[in-house]
A and B are shown apart, each in its own frame.
Chain A
Amino acid sequence: MKMDFNKKVIALLAVALIATGSWSCKKIIDEAPESTLDASNAYRNSTDADAAVIGIYGQFLTLQKTYILQNELRADLVSVTANADPYLKQLSNHSTTADNPYIDPRPYYKVILNCNDALKNFQLMRDDFRMSVDDYNKHYSDIGALRSWIYLQLGIQYGSVPYITDPVENVEDIKNLSAYPRISFEELLTRLIDFTEKLPYKEVYAYPAGNPLVITIDGNNTQKIFICKPFVLGDLYLWNNNYLKAAENYSKILNIENNNTNINIAFDAYKVVYSGGSAYNDQAVRYARYQDENSLLYDQGWKTIFSAPNTNIVWNSEFFWGIPYSSSFKPGNPMVEFCSPLYGKYLIKPSQAAIDNWNAQRQYSGIPYDARGRLSYEKTASGPAITKLIDNVIPITNLNKGGKWGIYRAALLHLRFSEAANRDGKGKLGWALLNIGIANTFYTGTRSAAGAPTPISFDEINTMQTPYAAPYYLDARNNNDYKSPWYRNTGVRNRAGITPLDVSLQNDVLGLEGKLIDECALELAFEGNRWPDLVRIARRQNNPAFLAERVYQKLLKDGDPNASAARTKLLNPANWYLPFAWK
């Protein structure tokens, strides 16, 4: 009995040992994380690819702060308040020191890292059939275009930057980064055009309806959260002074909804239309009573472009790229902190120069200023405060930090397209989109006593379209029986109720170009386009004063002692770019 017991114990022990010994040693000291996703489990199927896209856009949202501050504060439309910290002041008057946190390129590269990681993995997924080619095309192109957008920003802000397209995976890769070459802005543009042009899917909308990424969630639709690729391409070409290619890409968006079966979308979306008295085309500056400046409408018309939810038709007719914020989810709208005296710290405000721009305009009704100013900022006890960036249907409070980061919209598209057309010898088309619309500009036929076109022949009707080939062909023909896609187009200034500029500009390339940029100050103020606009034109015209003078005027009007120093500095194009610190 006893012996048996001993033997049993030994046998048991031995078996246990053999069992222990045959565990794979590699396995027993291998532990994968469970509350985070180990790289070995990532990118297994197209749902994982969707998750990567969502994660990247979630992170991209944090770039708004940097984007707005760098693009607006450095230019002429936004100034700092007395509350602003010294670093913001530096940014505003072009005296940044190297330790300025607002000029750190880190936020951009944070998103780029994730883009690079996703792009590499998308390719791997396609290669091992973990993802269909169709899914690959869409996901890859979306993230690829987003990366190009970020690099374009980097180029605009920093001039020459390292163009990194491979993901940093571990600390060994860091060592290689220190030797990464910086390429010039020109070369960057070439590389970006090359890369973006080769993307396999370049449609206006990143994912068609029905794709799992296009859904309505928490009261927001996701379709236009994703970047509009033709616009990125258009911008890249425009920066590269390749006007025809730019116009081709822009026109893709202009005409994307032409065949929509919903005629209101077909006629209104991205076409900068007059107010037709319906919710579909309520984007114009409107008054309850004409010529009564106190009856300016805030909750209808032009301002609702910014405040309406992204499921609303007004927003959708104007915007084709914008990301909403929600008070229920992080992050809240970061601009509340910067803009609002009531719910934020009130660090930035519209510059006197910007206010003067609006005040220099005149409305048809005789009201001696541009109402878009009043719809873009408000006067508060603390001073003028930007509202455009924090407009929301539900009023912003310190607990509700909703609103949207609107990036691409119709007016921007029209002004950029006009810029390309003007440079490409189609000044009249540029003038038309800027001022009174296609039909009004090109129509040469019979008019009624009140001045409205009343064509009496096909020939007369046919003058309501642009006499150019694509991409400059826009059809605005219209009579009681026939409406073509562009018939409601009214021009950016007309939509705002502002009198048109002189027709002589149609044949003055430089003059019109300047006016287009001036119009941007009125229509697109604070939205983050100003500095790139100034740099692009100054660069193209080889005219640093174009930029320096405007910044100088802002600082001068603000009483900034650094005004002339900034002017001198900016007269040297090398100083347009922020120091790129390799911290």
Chain B
Amino acid sequence: MNLFFHNLTYKLTMYNFTLIKKRISLAFFALVFANAAFAQQTDTTTTDTSKYSTDTTTVKVKVKKLVGQKITGVVVDGVTNKPVFGVKLTVTDFSGALTDDKGRFSIIVPDFNATIIISNIGYHTKLLAVHKGKLATIKIYPASYASLFTEVTLPSGTKNLARTSSAISFSNPQGAWTINAETPDTYLQGRMAGLNSIRRSGTPGIGADLFVRGFTSLYATNQPLYVVDGMIYDANSYGSSLTAGHRNNPLQFIDVHDIESVSLIKDAAAAAVYGTKAANGVMIITTNHAKDLATQIDFSAYSSMNFVPRKLSLMNSGDFRTYLTDVLQSSGLSSGAIAALPYMNDDSNPITNPSYSMYHQNTDWQKEVFKRSFNQNYFLKVSGGDNIAKYALSAGYSKNKSVIDSTNNTNYHMRFNSDLNLTKKLQASTNLSFSYTEQSLKDQGIAPRTNPIFLSLVKAPFLAKNEISPSGAVSPNLAAADTLGVSNPRALIEKGLNQKKAYRFFGNIVFNYEFNKNFKLSNLTGLTYDKTQETLFIPRKGVTDEVLDNTIGDSKLGSQVIRYSNVFNDFRFAFNKTFAKDHSLNMSLGTRYSQNSSEQDFAIGYNSATDVLISIGNSNAALRYFGGDIGNWTSLNTYFTTDYSYQDKYFLSLALAADASSRFGRNNGNSAASSSGYGLNLFDSKTALLPALSAAWIVSSENFMQSYKGVDLLKLRMSYGIVGNDDIGNYNNRQYYVTQNLLGLQGLVRGNLANPNIQWERVAKFNTGLDASFFNERLSMSLDYYVHTTSKMLNYIPVTSIAGIDSFVDNQGGMQTNGFDFGMNARILNKTVKWDLGINLGLYKNKVKSLANGNELLTSYANATYLTRVGEAANLFYGQRTNGVYATDAEAAATGLSVVNGAGVNVPFKGGDMRFVDTNGDKIINSSDRVVIGNPNPDVFGSFNNTVGYKNWTLDVLVSFVLGNDVYNYTRSILESDNAYYNQTEIMRNRWRGQGQVTNVPKASFGDPMGNAQFSDRWIEDGSYLRLRSVNLTYNVPLKTKAIKYARIYATGNNLLTLTKYLGYDPEFSATGSIFTQGVDTTLEPQFRSVQLGVRIGL
């Protein structure tokens, strides 16, 4: 609100500025107060005369003579084709009617341009344009049916999807009763067109990375903004987990069973009110509120079983021993010396060779790590109330185990939502939730000493998990880390500890005050408080030592606390009026204030006395170190929206956001710097001004469409707007100092180069699309084409040597993403057997338009290099191209190719080395021969969804797929590296072993002097997959008793079948949220199959 006064006066001097601002705002609020008081006065005088009771739901209907056209018809249920009784038909601000027991109605409409709203509890609200003459039979569908007439929640309130001008995908989980062990982000996989939800791994609760229509940024976030019950839900994970490869997922604090609806705004139009937070779409989630006054109790219980993933085929003891011999030989060891190694000694006499038993096992290590496990889930929901207060209360408990032995995730959820009618004009509602989770984890990803999955793959199969005596007796003690330098994964599973406890309180209180029919004022105040506490212990026994700067770390202990808190306020005026019956206007003006702080504090220690003393206090005091980070940021987002419609056919919306943030630059007064960013200088800092405009035309409401009876809805939409991304770092706009030690003394040095120009990334979004529904909603579809253009994209700008600082962050790049979304739903069979088919498709093409310095940006992750180059898609795999293996030395010599080793000496290739392609023709294989060898972005992604109903049975089948993406199999690059003491895949039995051997697997060579295992197309695989995500069978038990309203039994199979050519465990994973790590399989916990049985009872 204050913004506008600033706007008027910002040219004045600062002193006057503040003074005037204060006075004006004081005067303004006094005015508001007076107005409110006056409204209250008039309100009370009128209510006084009309004998009002506390029953605020009583509606006083004025009987008025209606002048218009009479319309009659019949309303039937689209599923059963039976007439529906009591359906409410209204013409806004004009007339209303109810259907009789035959479903018949008769209603007066003002003219043939009117729209009738047909609504009934449990059904989608349908909007139909009136055409001359008798209306055909109106079919309405239950809320569970995928309809374009669904009510979606948008920032400005609920709206019928058929009347929106923005690109919106929606999902109504309806309690998601068939599902458990899902978080909202994974639940959404395959349920929205244009949303690519990539599950991070198989770990319960780990969630997914969501990419809405690809990505818009290189360094800032690419995740959508979550708005839960009107309040921004911060789904970022702050700080990094002590558990390698793990990410805290705040979305797991939302129980999917509590979700009423999810709508995703993909374009700029409806999202623009979230200004600089809306760059990647806005996901609006609402949770359950009581719909009925009657008390309703839902209880469900599930249990499920998780299956061990398909194992990778690795070498057995015999093959591995041969391989090891080759590697040892290549490291320069003589065959005599190799034969003398304890694990090579085949003398089975325990007297002469006491370690024979120890080194002559055949262990399937994967079997030691992956175990079948069971889950349990309980959920209770109670809702009801009276006409003053309604409540919805829910509680959930789940214990989801995972397939890595001894890992699990225990959740407790609690939610209390209420709606209160405080007075006739003042309503309040609360959305309060508290969730707590306790997780037992293991290191994953790139953690070669401590990732049990990785260890189970690379550990020598001739070793055993327990100590074995010379006589072959197996001790209960676990075996120590082996002589080849590989930890015992069982030691990590049994003695290691990666414990995480986290909770989040997320709650808000909303007050709505209606001055009168047209004016409304509402205020939402909310609070988020989140805390994560972690404990880490890596045991000494069984795990290889860690080499620290000045000592050897045997055991490792850690403790960490991460907090996040947020205070949020959203205050708005809404105005809504219909003028001259055809012109409808909705306006709102509001301001959101958000104050955030995050803090991470950790302590890491080493070398406790025994593996039983595992808390940080028991570590060696001299080796302990501490660290952490604190971040504070605030933002003030002022927004204005106008929705205008004419004759309910033509829609025009304008949205405007003005965002100020503590993160933006402070280059005040320098108009040259700010005008380029559509920004203003207010409050001593840059303010983003972000407009969006959208329009829709309901073609089906036009008279000329009257004859096309099959068309229920045909709507054309177009929008253009600008949104921003404020994930630009908290303090890049300020100059600060960081600590620098001199021996044990701490001093300060310059930490950065302040960038007073830093601003939000600017994303201009153009969208055009159509929504159509045919044959009484038997077929509906949406198609969208979009162009997202990012400018002012964040980049690290290298600085000249003489500045003394390496780089700074600035808005100097640009990229563009365009593509299509397509969503379709059809009821194919609608007789005794009902069959619904849903299809979601998304495809995008990304192109980098400009980068800060030069045309290329190389980033690296997991031994791989990514190339981001102007004119091509961002983050492409960039490595060597290979073409088999040299069969003979002569063949290698003939090519004249060589590598330059670390000392600058040319070393020619020999037989058994990889045949790398010398792309630049200089006869030397080095980094300048790298080419683009893959693209982790998919060509198409989407899903098929089938629902088949027959009597009391319902079958749901969800298939998700991704096509045309490339995956870098880092795990395989280790398992086929051919250069270390790690166990290898069975393929490696075909390694090159002698002159003339034609194979595609290079020779074993310790340390890989020729770079045979370097990042190349050998490790790039097609990541396409088609997955039977879930299959669910529901049986609705017919009940005679009145005590129980209903009972349903669910049988669900998750992830039952995956069709893919991918050679690793699973083609779907996301190591981090950064796009520079997409498509890399870093040995994360794979997704596993599970089957589940559940029961739900309604009381």
CB of A55 within 8 A of CB of B735, answer no
Measured in the bound complex, the distance between the Cα atoms of B745 and A217 in whole Å is 8
Nearest-Cβ distance from residue A540 to partner chain B, whole angstroms: 28
Q: Using CB atoms, name the residue of chain A closest to B28.
A: A21
CB-CB nearest in chain B for A397: B550
Q: Give the residue of A28, A36, A54, A170 whose beta carbon is less than 8 angstroms from that of B737.
A: A36
Q: Which of A13, A29, A84, A583 touches B685 (beta carbons < 8 Å)?
A: A29
Given contacts A36-B738, A83-B903, A332-B549, contact A113 B804 (CB under 8 A): yes
A162/B802 in contact, CB under 8 A: yes
Q: How many A-B residue pairs have CB under 8 A?
A: 266
Alpha-carbon distance between A147 and B3 when the two chains are bound, in angstroms: 48
A449 at the interface (CB under 8 A from B): no
B residues 666-694 touching A (CB-CB < 8 Å):
682-685
- Structural contact, B740 and A58, CB atoms closer than 8 A: yes
Residues 801-833 of B contacting A (Cβ, < 8 Å): 801-806, 808, 810
A503 CB–B CB distance under 8 Å = no
Stretch of A101-109, A365-373, A558-566 that contacts chain B: A101-109
- Given A17-B571, A42-B748, do A26 and B802 touch, yes or no (CB 8 Å)? no
For window 623-637 of B, CB contacts with A under 8 Å fall at 628-636
Determine if A17 and B29 form an interchain contact, defined as CB atoms under 8 angstroms apart.
yes
A265 cross-chain contacts in B, Cβ below 8 A? none
Which residue of chain A has the shortest Cβ distance to B804 in the bound complex?
A113
Q: Which residues in A have their C-beta under 8 angstroms from that of B382?
A: none
Whether A220 touches B29, Cβ cut-off 8 Å, given contacts A39-B754, A52-B748, A174-B799, is no
Of A31, A85, A332, the contact of B903 (CB 8 Å cutoff): A85
Q: How far apart are the CA atoms of A7 and B513 in the complex, in Å?
A: 12
B754/A169 in contact, CB under 8 A: yes
Which residues of chain A come closer than 8 Å to B2, judged between CB atoms? 21, 25
A177 CA / B799 CA spacing, docked (Å) = 10
**Residues 383 to 416 of chain A near chain B (Cβ within 8 Å):** 399-401
CB distance from A514 to the nearest CB of B (A): 35
A471 to B551, CA, bound (A): 51
Please, which residue of chain B has its CB at the minimum distance from the CB of A164?
B802
Q: Return the contact of B662 from the options A24, A29, A86, A162 (Cβ within 8 A).
A: A29
A113-B805, A177-B803 given; A55·B740 CB < 8 A: yes
Whether, in the assembled complex, A32 has its beta carbon less than 8 Å from a beta carbon of chain B, the answer is: yes
* B719-737 interface code vs A (CB 8 A; 1 in, 0 out): 0000000000011001111
Cβ A56 vs Cβ B800 within 8 A: no
- Cα separation A10 to B513 with both chains bound (whole Å): 9
A24 to B746, CA, bound (A): 36
Q: Which of A123-131, A320-328, A544-552 contacts B (4 or more CB under 8 A)?
A: A320-328
Say whether, besides A110-B805, A171-B810, A35 and B629 are in contact (CB < 8 Å): yes
Which residues of A have CB within 8 Å of B25? Answer: 18, 21-22
Q: Mark A70-93, 1 if CB is under 8 A from B, else 0.
A: 000000000000111110010000
The answer to whether A36 touches B661, judged by C-beta atoms less than 8 angstroms apart, is no
Q: Across the interface, name the chain A residue whose C-beta is closest to B752.
A: A36
- Interface presence of A582 (CB below 8 A): yes
List A residues 521-562 near B (Cβ within 8 Å): none
Taking A28-B593, A55-B747 as contacts, is the C-beta distance between A114 and B808 under 8 angstroms? no
Interface residues of B in 379-428 (CB under 8 A from A): 422-423, 425-426
Contact B423 A6 (CB under 8 A): yes
**What separation, in Å, do the CA atoms of A376 and B32 have in the docked complex?**
85
Q: A332-B549, A399-B551 are in contact. Are A54 and B742 (CB under 8 A)?
A: yes
Chain A contacts for B750, CB-based, 8 A: 113-114, 117, 167
Residues of A within 8 A of B511 (CB): 9, 13
**Does A53 lie at the interface of the complex (its beta carbon under 8 Å from any beta carbon of B)?**
yes
A582–B800 CB distance below 8 A: yes
CB distance from B654 to the nearest CB of A (A): 25
Q: Is B40 a contact partner of A6 (Cβ separation < 8 A)?
A: yes
Whether, in the assembled complex, A473 has its beta carbon less than 8 Å from a beta carbon of chain B, the answer is no
Closest Cβ of chain B to A332, distance in Å, is 7
**Contact residue among A2, A31, A84 (Cβ-Cβ distance under 8 Å from B633):** A31
Contact among A25, A28, A399 for B6, CB-based, below 8 A: A25
Please report the total number of A residues contacting B with Cβ < 8 Å: 91
CB pair B805–A169 under 8 Å, yes or no, is no
State whether the Cβ of A61 lies closer than 8 Å to any Cβ in chain B.
yes
Does A35 lie within 8 Å of B628, measured CB to CB?
A: yes
**Does A330 interact with chain B (Cβ within 8 Å)?**
yes
> Is B36 an interface residue, CB under 8 A from the partner?
yes
Return the chain B residue nearest A109 by Cβ.
Answer: B804
Query: What's the minimum C-beta distance from B75 to chain A, rounded to whole angstroms?
Result: 40
> B residues within 8 A CB of A82?
903
- Confirm or deny: A210 has a beta carbon within 8 angstroms of a beta carbon on chain B: no
Contacts of B633 in A (CB 8 A): 31
Secondary structure dominating the interface of B: mixed
Distance to closest chain B CB from A279 (angstroms) = 25
Tell me the minimal C-beta distance from A465 to chain B in angstroms: 41
**Residues of B close to A167: CB separation below 8 A:** 750
Is there a chain B Cβ closer than 8 Å to A5's Cβ? yes
- In chain A, positions 286-319 with a C-beta closer than 8 Å to chain B are none
8 A Cβ contacts from B1-49 to A: 1-3, 6, 18, 21-22, 25-26, 28-30, 32-33, 36-37, 40, 43-44
Say whether A571 faces chain B, with CB atoms less than 8 Å apart: no
CA distance A14 to B737 in the complex (A): 42
Is A581 part of the contact surface with B, judged by Cβ < 8 Å?
yes
Check if A469 is an interface residue, CB within 8 A of chain B.
no
B904 at the interface (CB under 8 A from A): yes
Residue of B nearest to A53 (CB): B747
Contact B805 A30 (CB under 8 A): no
A452 → chain B closest CB, angstroms: 45
Residues of chain B with a CB closer than 8 A to A178's CB = 800
Q: Is B964 an interface residue (CB 8 A)?
A: no
Which residue, B2, B750, B802, has most C-beta atoms of chain A within 10 A?
A: B802
- Cβ contact within 8 Å between B734 and A9: no
Residue B871 is within 8 A (CB to CB) of chain A in the complex: no
B755 interface hit (Cβ, 8 Å): yes
Q: What separation, in Å, do the CA atoms of A216 and B100 have in the docked complex?
A: 96
Residues of A within 8 A of B741 (CB): 58, 329-330
Residues of B within 8 A of A244 (CB): none
Looking at the assembled complex, report how far the CB atom of A111 sits from the nearest CB atom of chain B, in whole angstroms: 8
The one of B661, B757, B904 that contacts A171, using a Cβ cutoff of 8 Å: B757
Contact of A10 among B40, B745, B900 (CB under 8 A): B40
- Measured CA separation A82–B903 after assembly (Å): 7
Tell me if B802 and A326 are in contact (CB < 8 A): no
A180–B800 Cα distance when bound, in Å, is 11
Contact of A168 among B26, B738, B753 (CB under 8 A): B753
Within 8 Å CB of A114, what residues of B? 749-750, 804
Can you name the residue of chain B whose Cβ is closest to the Cβ of A17? Answer: B29
Give, as a whole number of angstroms, the nearest-CB distance from A179 to chain B.
11
Whether the Cβ atoms of A31 and B634 lie closer than 8 Å is yes
Chain A 173-209, CB-CB to B under 8 Å as 1, else 0, gives 1100110100000000000000000000000000000
Q: In whole angstroms, how far apart are the Cα atoms of A167 and B754 in the complex?
A: 12
Expressed in whole angstroms, the Cα–Cα distance for A290 and B225 within the complex equals 83
Residue of A nearest to B37 (CB): A10
Asked whether A109 lies within 8 Å of B802 as measured between CB atoms, the reply is yes
Shortest C-beta distance, B566 to chain A (Å), equals 13
User: 22 A–B contact pairs at CB < 8 A?
Assistant: A14-B36, A24-B18, A25-B636, A25-B660, A29-B635, A29-B685, A31-B730, A32-B632, A36-B737, A52-B748, A52-B749, A54-B747, A55-B737, A82-B903, A85-B902, A111-B804, A169-B735, A170-B756, A171-B797, A180-B802, A225-B742, A399-B549
A residues sitting closer than 8 Å to B (CB atoms) are 2-3, 5-7, 9-11, 13-14, 17-18, 20-22, 24-26, 28-39, 42, 48, 50-59, 61, 82-86, 89, 104-106, 109-114, 117, 162, 164, 167-174, 177-178, 180, 217-218, 220, 222, 225, 323-324, 326-330, 332, 399-401, 581-583
Sorted from nearest, which 6 A-B pairs have the closest CB atoms? A113-B804, A54-B747, A55-B747, A86-B904, A58-B742, A31-B662
Q: List 11 additional A-B contacts (Cβ < 8 Å) besides A39-B737, A105-B801, A167-B750.
A: A9-B511, A10-B40, A18-B30, A21-B2, A25-B3, A25-B21, A32-B734, A55-B742, A327-B550, A399-B551, A581-B801
